[in-house]
Amino acid sequence: MIGRYVTRAVDAQGRWSKPLGEFYHRWLSALFRPIRPVKDFLNGTWLGHPVHVVITDVPIGALTVSIIADLIGQPLVADVSLVIGILAMVASAVTGFADYTDVDGTARTRATVHSVVMTTALVLYVVSLVIRNGNPPDRLVPIALSLVAYLVLSVGAAIGGDLVYLIGTHVNRHAWRGAGVKWVPLDLGGLPDIPQGGPTKLKAGINELAVIRDGDRILAVHAQCAHAGGPLVEGSVVDGVIECPWHGSRFALADGHVRRGPAMYDQPAYEVRRAESGDGWETRRRPA
Ligand code: FES
């Protein structure tokens, strides 16, 4: 299977990609920290979807058109498509770097290789464009450069796709969790009652919830953050919003809606009521 060899080749770059990834991470975090709303925008919190994967379709499409136009002798179409492709690659890089600040471990190392491969493709494309701009009598060299760049771009795109499909980077942590319309008992785990304040981690069937109590008003969200699985029971609660301790995503306790990124997905929220039997509490997931 070709994918296995690509993964091995990417992971074999750890000697340089790990320290480079740490360096990238430091300066990108310092860059984005003071402009969090901008970073949220680039992540896709407003869209409910990562912006990076939407934008990356544009350069791949434009640069495919450019190659075809080169091969069938349409230089104007090829050059205009190339310019569009380069601009879209820059936009993709900016959104990708915003996502990059919230990944670590294997995902960061592979994302570093992805970004280096993509940067190499971008440089090759820019050189091709510069040569084209000089109106050379023979377009063989810039076309050859674009072809090589397209191959590099394809490898980079495959590595980027594997970040999602192989190791689940930026996949909604609740993608496979059923909506569930049935009320299930809330397991107090030996506690006499749901404690005031919170968040308190309590189980409901196979799910762990972060439960917050204010008098008789009880609110609950799933204990695992939708962004990357952070422990919301260790988060802080302010003004009806719970903040994840890992990357600072915020979710409304009333409905689980994301209020601040980097999360792009809503958090499962749960209703809690007195059990119909009169003994204890029961819960069910709220509709999205
Ligand atoms: S795990 Fe990233 S914000 Fe919660």
The finding on whether 111 has its CB within 6 A of some atom of ligand 1 is no
Q: Convert the pLDDT of each residue in 241-288 to its tens digit.
A: 999 999 999 999 999 999 999 999 999 999 999 988 778 899 999 887
Q: Ligand 1 atom 2: the closest Cα is on which residue? A: 247
Q: Convert the pLDDT of each residue in 123-146 to its tens digit.
A: 999 999 999 999 888 899 999 999
For residues 168-197, one letter each, b for 16 or more C-beta atoms within 10 angstroms of the residue's C-beta and e for the rest, the string is: ebbbbbbeeeeeeeebbebbbeeeeebeee
The finding on whether 230 has its CB within 6 A of some atom of ligand 1 is yes
What is the pLDDT, as a whole number, of residue 150? 97
Distance 260 CA to ligand 1 centre (A): 11
- Alpha carbons 107 and 101: distance in angstroms, whole number: 11
- Alpha carbons 199 and 251: distance in angstroms, whole number: 13
Place of tokens 């480079």: 20
The finding on whether 244 has its CB within 6 A of some atom of ligand 1 is yes
Ligand 1, from 247, 251, 260, 264: best to mutate by most atoms within 8 Å of Cβ? 247
Retrieve residue 150's tokens: 């397209």
What is the pLDDT, as a whole number, of residue 177? 85
- Alpha carbons 113 and 222: distance in angstroms, whole number: 34
R_g over Cα of the chain? 24
The finding on whether 170 has its CB within 6 A of some atom of ligand 1 is no
Ligand 1 atom index nearest CA of 248: 3
pLDDT, greater one: 169 or 180: 169
The finding on whether 269 has its CB within 6 A of some atom of ligand 1 is no
The finding on whether 263 has its CB within 6 A of some atom of ligand 1 is yes
Phi and psi (nearest 5°) for 169? Answer: -65, 130
Phi and psi (nearest 5°) for 212? Answer: -120, 130
Q: Convert the pLDDT of each residue in 140-158 to its tens digit.
A: 999 999 999 999 999 999 9
Coil, helix or strand for 150? helix
The finding on whether 226 has its CB within 6 A of some atom of ligand 1 is no
Of 17, 95, 73, nearest to 264 by C-alpha is 95
